[in-house]
Amino acid sequence: MRKFPLPVYLLPLLAACGGGDATDTGSIQSLQGPQQVSVIEASGGSNNTVRLPRHLRAVAGSDYQTDATRFWIRDNSLSALDTVNMILRSLTETQYWEQTNNGPYRALVQQDERNGGGERGNTGPVYEEWIVDSTRASNSAPQIASFWIKGVEQGEESVIYGKLTVTEEPSDAQPLGMFTLYFKSLPVGEPATSTNTMFEGYMRTIARNDAQTEVEFYMAHGDVEGTVASGDYAQRERMHLLGNPLEQSGRAYTERRYIQNHGGSTYSEEGEYQLQFNADYVARRDVANGNTLSVLDRNDFETRVYRYGVYDGTTEARVDQLSGFPVQDSNGANGWAGFHGIWFPENVTLSNGQTLYRRSFQDNSTTPYTLVIAPGKLEKNTRDSITLGDIEGEDMEFFDPNGGGQTKVRFTGTDLVRVATMSNGEWQIENTPVSISSGFTTGQWCSFWSQARGNVEFSWPASLSTSTPAYVWSHTTLNADSAELAGGDLTLHGYFHMLRAGITSDQANFQNSESPYLPDASSTSSGNQTYVFDKETLMLQLGGTDVNLANGVTITQGPGMFGLDCGPLFATALSSFGDISSQTVTYRWSFGSNSWNQLRTLKDANEDFVTFDPPTRFTYVHAENGSSYDGRTFFLEWDGSNLQGLPYEQDSGSGNWYPLLNIPTGTEVTAASTTYKIKQLEGEQMMVEVGSPNTVYTAQGFDIDGTTITEPEATPYQDPAIGEMPEVTAAPLYVGGIAQNAGG
């Protein structure tokens, strides 16, 4: 669980969602519970492809054809299901039904915020460690999945205890099947039997003998009706649904309340609704806002796609590209080593030279590796070409080392304007965008950061236009075994955005009019700098001194809190700034206290660096009549589970990030002469409000006020009572939902 707000993962309740083929584990047939829960069904009539149309199917039974597509409804009145859907979605990644009666095992569940991410980065996946024990005594007994999760709740280390009991799988008649889910969170150190919970709750289906499906959810901590003490919080989320799956009609009650007292300053979220729906409309009363009535059209949606699958263009087999493997430290903490670096939970301290172990999934043997950590890292950047027209209207971040600070800018088609400025860690929006074109000179190398595209760079032209050439980059982190260092140290040449060596405190913190950056070169022979990347220390040096903070210096404020970077750097000296446009490879040095600023990788027993496969990179040209992105070029990257590279926009209210375009299912892309297919797998739909709610409400015969749904109470909650977390020393069986059943 996370601090609020949480992402919403909602699947249709009025269509089967989870379950399916039971797994035969010997003589006992396993059961699978629901993967997601929703009140309202997602639409099949979206302008964007939601289900795989028949004309797009080619290879019968292929992964491309059979991989489930799941869309959920996003609406404030349905947000009470955030937490339970996160649990169910994550629990599905543990594949508990496949491990029935095999004893406790470990799984790494990927933490990818479906509506909070989308940005391109080099941090790699983040995982959460689950311990799961799945049992079924007989084919007439329930399936029980007990799980334990170590995490952080309200800044305190915690353990979540959960117990899912499935007595009937989801079906057309019972879309949720029959199940109960009890869960609680305790601070680390509290015994499993403790009632000193950080939150606790339940979800259950209620047996009925009519055509109705009924489900309740309740989760709480503290008293939201009382006074919240300083430093404490209270929350309550609950939902009660009664619906007819065949008629797609029903009623629901939802509530979500959260109150936190920060030293006398109170932050709160509140939402409470009564809903009624049929096959065409949803009517809702906003109980917390004067019983305001609104009516939503179930046939009019805005669709956002958050997850895609990538498949071989001929065989339609899923491209399962995991560029790494699980590792473990000497204390048994589990992490992941891969192309983007090393991941471990936040409470695990890593140090240069320590031993990490990779376990074999076949015989549980271990292979030791040496962890290599350097305070910074050098990236090799290989460019792809776009034009400024491809980024027109997209927000990019720009840091001006000459006193301009960190800003957010946008190319309008004819001008570069500032739309926001960073102040005290928050973006301050410009009421009227401000032109900043006069701050650049012809031939100046400009570097920006795009959430979708990574670094966007170009040489400032005599006149800005949509045809101005620009470049985006793919990245590879260098180590001592890289081909560039085969002959020894690597000499690099800098002209713009050049970091100093031995950076002082004032420079690092941008104090007293000082900066960690040197002035830009006025020509290729005046003000330029020659750097050396040392093969032994893996540090960039200037004049024999590391390009890093001086001893004892720390960064306490300013842009350097997130790390500092230097570049572009060139392996061959430039004869003029006009040569920049012909450079297809550049280098970038960064350093800082964050893991993404540092080199973190492994050496094997032969002192060779481990080589990981890079993401597969595709060129994609968007085609959508009427869209501002029609005809624009994007470079997508597939790492085996995430497709990155599309533009996202942050909602100022929720802070969530939303995709600005969707790739249609069936789109073909090419990488290294191999063709691949893309399929939409997960997303959300937002129903559009009708203009005359009272008129539609009356015409549809709704009567929310006449038959309200009761509020769930706390009393059905039961302690999961699953005992202390089992000690599991074996390697994870699943990583991101994918079985680790081959090789080491």
pLDDT in tens, 222-234: 999 888 888 888 9
The terminus-to-terminus CA distance of the chain in angstroms comes to 31
Q: How many CA atoms lie within 13 A of 453 on its CB side?
A: 30
% of the chain at pLDDT higher than 90: 50
Contacts of 706 (CB under 8 A, 6+ apart): none
Q: What is the mean pLDDT of the chain?
A: 85
Q: Nearest-CA neighbor of 70 among 127, 5, 13, 6? A: 13
Residue 640 has a pLDDT of 82
Residue 141 has a pLDDT of 96
Residue 338 has a pLDDT of 85
% of the chain at pLDDT higher than 70: 88
Measured distance CA(212)–CA(207) in Å, rounded: 9
252-279 pLDDT, tens digit each: 999 988 898 887 788 888 889 999 999 8
pLDDT at 402 over 70: no
pLDDT at 411 over 80: yes
Residue 515 has a pLDDT of 93
Show the beta-strand stretches assigned E in 584-708: 585-591, 599-603, 616-621, 633-638, 643-644, 648-650, 657-659, 668-671, 674-689
Please compute the mean of the pLDDT values over residues 553-572 and round it to a whole number: 91
Residue 554: count of CB within 10 angstroms of its CB: 10
Measured distance CA(548)–CA(555) in Å, rounded: 11
pLDDT at 130 over 90: yes
Where is pLDDT greater, at 473 or 134? 134
Q: Are 10 and 72 in contact (CB under 8 A)?
A: yes
Please compute the mean of the pLDDT values over residues 646-662 and round it to a whole number: 80
703-713 pLDDT, tens digit each: 998 888 899 99
Please compute the mean of the pLDDT values over residues 454-468 and round it to a whole number: 91
Residue 403 has a pLDDT of 59
33-66 pLDDT, tens digit each: 887 776 565 554 333 333 444 455 567 789 998 8
Where is pLDDT greater, at 466 or 89? 466
- Predicted confidence band of residue 145 (pLDDT cuts 50, 70, 90): very high
Q: Are 538 and 492 in contact (CB under 8 A)?
A: no
Is 695 in a helix, a strand, or coil?
Answer: helix
Helices (H) and strands (E) counted in the chain, each on its own, are: 4, 44
Residue 38 has a pLDDT of 63
**Both tokens of residue 574?**
């430039």
Residue 546 has a pLDDT of 97
Residue 695 has a pLDDT of 96
Q: Nearest-CA neighbor of 18 among 32, 7, 1? A: 32
